Structure 1
Amino acid sequence: MLTIVIQISIIYVIKSAAQTNSEACNSCCTAGVPGIPGNHGNPGAIGPQGMNGIQGMKGEQGINGEQGINGEQGIKGEQGLNGEQGMKGDNGSNGLDGTPGKLGPTGPQGLIGLPGANGVKGEKGEQASQQKSAFTAVYTSDPGRPIGPLKYDTIITDVGNHYNKETGKFVCAIPGVYVFQVTSTKSQGGRQIVTRIMKNRNIQMSTRMSADGLNSISTMVVLNLVSGDEVWIQPVSSIDNYYCSSGARYCSFSGFFLYPA
């Protein structure tokens, strides 16, 4: 910008000199042919920087305009009529069952609940009929020296009538487990008694008494019987049968049903 200003100033000086020369020349001579314009001169040196201009005064703040008046609120419109209810759509088809999820972990055990109320008392049930079999037979007089099954002359008890007084044998009618017991007394002057409990001609138990005087001996056995099995008492031989009994009933044979097999 400064270069342009300098160039304009130089042109102005040259023009003023030419005009002066022209005026002087015109007074005495005829104007010559304009010469060929010379070459541009070299740019002049940069002039000194001008002084800063004086800052103008700040103008006063303008006055705010007045606020416009708010318009009145419009009247609320009437509510429109409800539209008619549409027709109910058809039920959609059921979706397919999803894949069962994995079993979750077992949760912690809950607290024990309070006891429930007592239930209503049930009706009394019918008592099951229990099969029964029991007997006791004794000698009430001296039996002498019997051979074979001892036939006790007096029956004290015979529940079920399974002991046969005529044969001296107990005949099983209820299959199961039975208990049998025998007590025998040796006569005072006799040698000895050896008594056996028999089941179907097989020896189950034996007792022996050979002490001097009037002495007794007992034994007991538990047998598993089926229907028709026979149990009885007999001496081992004719020289081991010195039995003794009386109204005191020293010799006896007993048995009873324990439970079904």
Structure 2
Amino acid sequence: MYLAIAIQLSIICIIQAAAQGDTQVCSGCCTAPAGIPGIPGSHGNPGGLGPIGMKGDVGVKGEKGNQGSDGRDGLPGKIGPIGLPGATGEKGGKGEKGEQVAPTNSQPKSAFSVGYNVNPGRHPVSPMKYPLIITNVGNHYNKETGKFVCQHPGIYVFQFTSGSTSSNNMVTSIMKNGQRILSAFVTGSGYKSASNMVVLDLVANDEVWTEPLNTSLNYYYSENHIFCSFSGFLLYASA
């Protein structure tokens, strides 16, 4: 449309110049009027950052804002140094007398020593019943049966000594609940003796005694010097 308007204006100028007989090229009359503004172009790409400007003046102090919410708890601080001792307090009043209680960890007691103060001679194969009671703490040795009966479970020590004479032979054994634990043998001429010792772990009502091995090895000799004896004691009670 703009091109058509321009062409029309040019034609008009040519006609006017011919009518006036002007052979010169039309100059001012042929100048076309200002055109209609064109359509705005699209925006260009953003330019680069400019240089940093000068520091501005300090602004006026603003009004105090509202109080913020509480922050999180901080980490625990280091332990401080120990303080000085405080003053001594007043002495308290006298308390009531407590009830006396026997200690619960007292060690139970059990011990005995017995012997023959008469000559036993040829003893049958059965528990030896020592007639002389030297010591019998707790009365756990039974003179009538010749047996020690355990009342306090624990570790016990037992020992015996047996005497014999001439060419008679003798074997004495320590028995526990009918089982032969160990023995001592003696033979030869003249006066002689044999002994042995054992440590046993006993429970309540276990029985321990001494007796000959058999009827051919049961020749004993004793008198008021006590050549035949039997002893035992509790080493420590079970926990």
Aligned length: 148
Q: How far did 1:234 drift?
A: 0.3
Letter in 2 for 1:156: I
- Per the alignment, residue 220 of structure 2 pairs with 243
Look up the SS of the partner of 1:244 in the other structure: coil
Letter in 2 for 1:95: G
User: What is the rounded CA distance, in whole Å, between the counterparts of 2:143 and 2:69 in structure 1?
Assistant: 89
- Per the alignment, residue 71 of structure 2 pairs with 95
- Per the alignment, residue 135 of structure 2 pairs with 157
In structure 2, the CA distance between the partners of 1:92 and 1:246, relative to structure 1 (3 Å rule), is farther
Per-residue CA deviation, residues 147-206 of structure 1 (Å, 9 max, x unaligned), is 111000110000000000000000000000000000000122x42001100001111111
The TM-score with structure 2 as length reference comes to: 0.58
In structure 2, the CA distance between the partners of 1:168 and 1:92, relative to structure 1 (3 Å rule), is farther
RMSD of aligned Cα (Å): 2.4
User: Does residue 170 of the first structure (1) align with residue 148 of the second (2)?
Assistant: yes
Identify which of 221, 231, 237 aligns with 1:254. Answer: 231
The TM-score with structure 1 as length reference comes to: 0.53
In the alignment, structure 1 segments of 5+ residues that lack a partner are 1-90, 102-124
User: What is the rounded CA distance, in whole Å, between the counterparts of 1:92 and 1:245 in structure 2?
Assistant: 107
Per-residue CA deviation, residues 11-56 of structure 1 (Å, 9 max, x unaligned), is xxxxxxxxxxxxxxxxxxxxxxxxxxxxxxxxxxxxxxxxxxxxxx
Instruction: Within 5 Å, give how 1:111-260 maps onto structure 2.
Output: 128-147=105-124, 148-188=126-166, 190-260=167-237
User: What is the rounded CA distance, in whole Å, between the counterparts of 1:161 and 1:92 in structure 2?
Assistant: 87
In structure 2, the CA distance between the partners of 1:235 and 1:95, relative to structure 1 (3 Å rule), is same
Q: How far did 1:130 drift?
A: 1.8
- Per the alignment, residue 120 of structure 1 pairs with none
